[in-house]
Structure formats: structure tokens, C-alpha cells
Amino acid sequence: MSDNKDMIGLNLVELPSVGSLLDTDTGCIYPQYGVEKGEGPDLSCEISLYDGEVSADWYESLSEQDYKLVKPYIQ
């Protein structure tokens, strides 16, 4: 897991329906593990929404509110 200091300068928005964080500057998402334990995202596991690297199951799990947040990054 990454230290919180690694997140300085990132504009991360939580996508609770899929357990991810969206970087609004890059259109990349990061898995967020152990939220209840205060653990942050896994910054070593960057997934690009622009490049279509996300599975169909992930999109199907998005809530309507979270979908509105990622829609600008989907081709």
C-alpha cells in the first residue's frame, strides 16, 4: 500500500460503488483497499479509463452517481 504522502498533488474522488478512486486530472482509477482500516488507494495499480482498460463488470457495478463522475473520461 502507498503512504498518504504519495497522494499529495493528486485530485482523487471516491467511487464507493466500485471501491476505487478517480484521479480527475488523468482519468485513471486506483483500487482502494481496506477503507474501513484507513488504508488508501494502491497507487501502483493505475488503470486508465481513457484507454479502456476497465472491465465491463466494473462499469456494470457503478452507481448512477459514480457513473456521472467517470462519464467524461469514457470514450
Over the stretch 21-30, which tens digit does the pLDDT of each residue have? 999 999 999 9
**Cα–Cα distance between 70 and 72 in angstroms, integer?**
6
Residue 5 predicted with pLDDT over 80: no
Q: How many CB atoms lie within 10 A of CB 27?
A: 16
Query: Average of pLDDT values for 35-61?
Result: 83
Please calculate the CA angle 72-29-47 and round it to the nearest 5 degrees.
Answer: 105
